[in-house]
Amino acid sequence: MTDAAELLSRTKELLAAHPPATTDRTDFLTARFDAGLAWVHYPKGLGGLDAPRTLQAVVDAELTAAGAPDNDPRRIGIGLGMAAPTILTYGSEEVKQRFLRPLWVGEEVWCQLFSEPGAGSDLAALGTRAVRDGGDWVLNGQKVWTSSAHVARWAILIARTDPELPKHRGITYFICDMSDPGVEVRPLRQITGEAEFNEVFLTDVRIPDAHRLGEVGEGWKVAQTTLMNERVSIGGSRIPREGGMSGPIARTWRERPELRTHDLHQRLLTLWVDAEVARLAGERLRQQLAAGQPGPEGSGMKLAFARLNQEISGLEVELRGEEGLLYDDWTMRRPELVDFTGRDAGYRYLRSKGNSIEGGTSEVLLNIVAERVLGLPSEPRNDKDVAWKDLTR
């Protein structure tokens, strides 16, 4: 098995052969992928070396110290955090070879076509249809709340392939080409004034069967891999102390003593401690991930992330008073990614309202934690064994 010393040696060889100061950014990232230093825990030939996940930090530290470029992980977060682990687990060898390198290098942006107007919290109720036509599948339907669809080249998508089966069993998982003429992307303007989300209409979109992930009818199982990784990537990302939402309000507290009150001080201390507990719990979760795939614990982390972001941003607006209501830009913008910390307090407060919806609503995640982590009885369900076509909608 590859150890830390070998990884360090390979990293130094990469830097010697491709000096960051004189090597094109994309060329350097491609060379890093081919050297197995992208995801060290991935298989050889797919960006990794079959090394323990924990040793990625050895590579990253050495490359950072040398001034090597990263792959702009925030811009391609859906590809890295959701599409890649799903492709690795369920994709054919041809699919892995075709998609993983440009995904990691950042040459192709990804989005997620899961939610629908009638299937948000109850995702398994989705109605987008995929019908087999020779070696292709023909898709028709509508998706909604799709981050980055306006800049994405590819999408991970689930569609109903058998309406005669109960809703969880008649779903299949695909990779969709966003440049297909049957794909129409429309902006959805949010409370912030931006349109980072989209609705996507699919009209006779043809997807080759080779771009199916997993078996026909097992899309719900495949989607669980995506969703578990998504919740970890949202709620369990590595941040420094006072990173995320707690950083701006802590700076305001230190720099603006005239705004302080005893009540706000006590509430800020409580939230600061909660944020630090969540940060350390995230570190523990990543240590557990080194030994396996994400589990339902990621749902707990995502729950904490949403609650803390909303409470901290609300407290910051309250601390700043009238000034906290100011917002620098209400114009219609189409950002590629969300920047929580580089904007006004008013923006952070408004944008954080979406944290309890995106990546799974807090209500659904509470059920997951209750049933799969705490072992509590499931809620009564009367639709699990009913054919999807017979469900009331």
* Cα→Cα distances 233→56, 144, 157, 252, 281, Å: 16, 21, 19, 28, 14
The SS3 of residue 321 is: helix
CA atoms of 328 and 381, how far apart (whole Å): 47
CB 75 within 8 A of CB 337: yes
Please write the tens of the pLDDT for every residue from 68-123: 999 999 899 899 989 999 999 999 999 999 999 999 999 999 999 999 998 877 89
Beta strands in the chain (DSSP E): 110-113, 129-133, 136-143, 154-160, 171-177, 183-188, 197-208, 212-213
CA-to-CA separations, 264 to 101, 260, 277, 307, 310, in angstroms, rounded: 49, 7, 20, 18, 16
How many Å apart are CA 173 and CA 176, to the nearest integer? 10
Tokens of 84: 């890649």
**Phi, then psi, of 324 in degrees rounded to 5:** -70, -15
If you search the block for the tokens 């982590």, which residue do you land on?
Answer: 373
Give which of 249, 270, 271, 248 is closest to 260, Cα–Cα.
Answer: 249
User: What are the boundaries of each domain within the chain?
Assistant: 4-70, 110-217, 223-373
* Under 8 Å between Cβ of 120 and 247: no
Give, in degrees to the nearest 5, the angle at Cα 352 between 351 and 358: 95
Question: Helix or strand or coil: residue 293?
Answer: coil
Unique residue bearing structure tokens 């990173």:
243
Class of domain 223-373: mainly alpha
DSSP 341: T
Given this model, what pLDDT does residue 288 score? Answer: 64
Q: Can you name the residues that pair with 132 across neighbouring β-strands? A: 137
| Alpha-carbon span 318 to 345, nearest angstrom | 10
pLDDT at 343: 79
State phi, psi for 252 to the nearest 5 degrees.
Answer: -60, -40
Q: Which helix (H) or strand (E) holds 242?
A: none
DSSP β-ladder status, 171-177 and 212-213: antiparallel
Q: What is the pLDDT of residue 232?
A: 61
> What HEC string does 248-284 produce?
HHHHHHHHCHHHCCHHHHHHHHHHHHHHHHHHHHHHH
Q: Catalytic site residues?
A: 230
Which pTM was predicted? 0.86
Tokens of 78: 């859906």
Measured distance CA(124)–CA(120) in Å, rounded:
9
Cβ-contact 140, 183 below 8 angstroms: no
Both tokens of residue 311?
A: 């409470």
What is the C-alpha separation between 231 and 294, in angstroms, rounded? 9
Query: What's the CATH code, domain 110-217?
Result: 2.40.110.10
pLDDT in tens, the chain (393 residues): 688 999 999 999 999 999 999 999 999 999 999 999 999 999 999 999 999 888 998 999 999 999 999 999 989 989 998 999 999 999 999 999 999 999 999 999 999 999 999 887 789 999 999 999 999 999 999 999 998 999 999 999 999 999 999 999 999 999 999 999 999 999 998 888 888 889 999 999 999 999 999 999 999 999 998 987 766 665 455 677 887 889 999 999 999 999 999 999 999 999 999 999 988 887 777 666 655 555 677 778 888 889 999 999 999 999 999 888 887 766 667 776 666 666 789 888 998 998 888 877 888 888 888 888 888 998 887 787 899 888 877
Distance between CA 206 and CA 260 in Å, rounded? 59
Element (H, E) at 114: none
